[in-house]
Amino acid sequence: MNKLWLGAIAATVSCASTAQAQLASTGLGAYPSRPIRLVVGFAAGGATDLSARIVAQKLSENLGQQVVVDNRPGASSNLASDIVAKSTPDGHTLLLANATVAMPSLFAKLPFDVQRDLTPVSLAGYGPLALVVHPSLAAKNLKELIALAKAKPDALSYGSAGVGSFLHLATALFEHLSQSKVLHVPYKGGAPAAVAVLTGEVQMAFASIAAVLPHAQQNRLRVIGVSSIKRSSALPDAPTLHEAGLTGYDANSWYGMFAPAAAARPIIAKLGTETVKALAVADVKARLTSQGVEPATGGVDEFSKYLKAEIPKWAVVIKAAGIPPQ
């Protein structure tokens, strides 16, 4: 074995020893030392749950301990967030949340503060939406749609999954940035809202790309654009609303991992690094993309910066839309 190889091995051992020493200095010893509980605030089968399970499987392999998804639906996912916020901060109880956690102004009172009691670990992915209209509507693009909406306030109607739902807020952001007004028609879920556009009961709606793609391909719905800053891999020919003229428009139903705020920094860093590694694996990317989720690429720093911008952005939108705290 030559000196170059010996030096490389020594450097690897030294880095591993340093990382382990940092963990040991926290009094927690080797991490993880037992299975990790990943709490999800939604029932099994939804987009947040599926994202959690895809990431958990690969993290289990990378960390050498089972990452077990624990579904705790209730209180608009706030129950799960509260469980993790109040858990022992040893890195063995984590939260996989969606964008709702960055909208505390939707609620009159919360038992936790997301910025005080939780710390970002890593984004898992982004769930861009498609803005769709009924084919009979005389708007072929975003510019024409905004012109119609501004010409006759509340003449156009849109469907959502209910007051305060992400589909409602995505349209509220559209109204806020375009200075237009469209009539809100809430439904009991995103699927009925999409069906309402198909039947012409309402003229427009934001909807999951997976739900509307088959209808768009059959020209039963017209896609005006997608809600993310970057184009969707599922709809590569559809412009983003940002590039189509609604500058700054970005409404992603993102999914991200959190730990209790008091968790040791070396543990947070390790979790962030391992999550990024998991998201870079081809089969993980493929499985997330098949669910309409664009895999994220950053860890702790990217998520911290993103969350810091999301909370005040949605607070402004919620206030402008006049949505009362629930």
With respect to residue 23, please indicate whether it lies within any of the assigned structural domains: no
Instruction: Name which of 3, 323, 23, 6 is nearest 165 in CA terms.
Output: 323
Give yes or no for residue 244 having a pLDDT over 80: yes
* Same-domain pairing of 142 and 217: yes
Q: Is the pLDDT of residue 170 over 70?
A: yes
* Domain shared by 221 and 138, yes or no: yes
Q: Are strands 36-40 and 93-98 parallel, antiparallel or unpaired?
A: parallel
CATH code of 166's domain: 3.40.190.10
- CA dist 29 and 22 (Å) reads 9
Residue 56 has pLDDT above 50, yes or no: yes
pLDDT, mean of residues 277-292:
93
In this structure, the answer to whether residues 112 and 136 fall within a common structural domain is: no
Q: pTM of the predicted model, to two decimals?
A: 0.86
- Indicate the number of domains in the chain: 2
Q: Do residues 280 and 314 share a domain?
A: yes
Render 144-209 in DSSP notation, one character per residue: HHHHHHHHSTTTSEEEESSTTSHHHHHHHHHHHHHT---EEEE-SSHHHHHHHHHHTSSSEEEEEH
190 and 159 share one domain = yes
Identify the CATH number of the domain in which residue 105 sits: 3.40.190.150
State residue 210's pLDDT score. 87
Host domain of residue 108: 33-127+252-321
Q: Look at residue 70 and tell me if it is in a domain.
A: yes
DSSP, res 295: E
Q: Judge whether 207 lies within some domain.
A: yes
Total count of residues recorded for the chain: 326
Would you state the pLDDT for residue 171? 97
Residue 122 — very low, low, confident or very high, per pLDDT cuts 50/70/90?
very high
